[in-house]
Amino acid sequence: MGVVNVTPDSFSDGGVNLDPDTAAAAARRMVEEGATIVDVGGESTRPGSEGVLADDELRRIVPVLERLGGEVPVSVDTSKALVARRALELGAILVNDVTALRGDPELAGAVADRGAYLCLMHMLGDPRTMQDDPRYDDVASEVAGFLERRLAFAVAQGVPEERICLDPGIGFGKTVEHNLELVRRLDLLVALGRPVLVGFSRKSSLRRLTGSDDLLAASVGAAVAAYERGASILRVHDVKPHVDALTVAAAVA
């Protein structure tokens, strides 16, 4: 899953893809490099970020989706039903919701009505506060329990279980050790029976581990570690290096 943030303030590529033509070109390039799907988002969820109105989110992503014209498999990174409905009308096939259907009571219906796919992510608190001293007794068990409950909720709201994937939310209300423990014990999430998405790409935990601002090698390493522990989807900013590394990892598995 390639990442195209159409925002001025995302933690890694904020401002890079604000121009719709640039963003659409980036999405096409990612598919050419081997991405199966491209995640387009118009609202930053980096630590400390404030939310934006649905109209602002739509103003950012609609021109991109219009330029892609359904030619590229697209996921829309949103927690708003209004945004999801419009994105699905324009060809998106998956809704990537960082709130796991807690942000908008109408989002599950929007996904179910269109027969779309859905990703449910764990987040402690909200983007503004999530890194304010996050604590768990057992992070892997607690995240797995949360996602199991949200999966059951989504199914009860009419989203078929076979169309749902789960994301432990690396960096969303977790310390460096929490993030590492989640990857280390990814089998707890895999045991829930749904595809697991991991997004460790360019996260600040990697900078704290390596002491480097160049996070490409660290991102690839984290992705391979997650893949070897059962992750089915890797959400990344640098597609080709990840595709190459995962191709080799799969060949020797």
CATH number assigned to the domain comprising residue 214: 3.20.20.20
- Average pLDDT rounded to a whole number, residues 99-113: 97
CB 100 within 8 A of CB 147: yes
Active-site position among 29, 194, 203, 208:
203
On the question of pLDDT at 2 being above 60, the answer is yes
pLDDT band at residue 12 under the 50/70/90 scheme:
low
Residue 9, pLDDT > 60, answer: no
Amino acid identity of 156? A
**Residue 235 designated active-site:** yes
Strand partners, 233: 197
Q: Indicate the pLDDT class of residue 206, thresholds 50, 70 and 90.
A: very high
Q: How many domains does the chain have?
A: 1
Selected catalytic residue, list 114, 194, 235, 240: 235
Give the range of the structural domain holding residue 189, as residue numbers without chain letter: 2-252
CB atoms under 10 Å from CB of 53, counted, come to: 12
Output the pTM of the full model.
0.93
- Please state the three-class secondary structure of the chain as a single string: CEEEECCCCCCCCCCCCCCHHHHHHHHHHHHHCCCCCEEEECCCCCCCCCCCCHHHHHHHHHHHHHHHCCCCCEEEECCCHHHHHHHHHCCCCEEEECCCCCCCCCHHHHHHHHCCEEEEECCCCCCCCCCCCCCCCCHHHHHHHHHHHHHHHHHHCCCCHHHEEEECCCCCCCCHHHHHHHHHCCHHHHCCCCCEEECCCCCHHHHHHHCCCCCHHHHHHHHHHHHHCCCCEECECCHHHHHHHHHHHHHHC
Closest of 83, 58, 67, 72 to residue 29, by C-alpha: 72
pLDDT band at 48 (very low <50, low <70, confident <90, very high): low
Is 203 catalytic? The answer is: yes
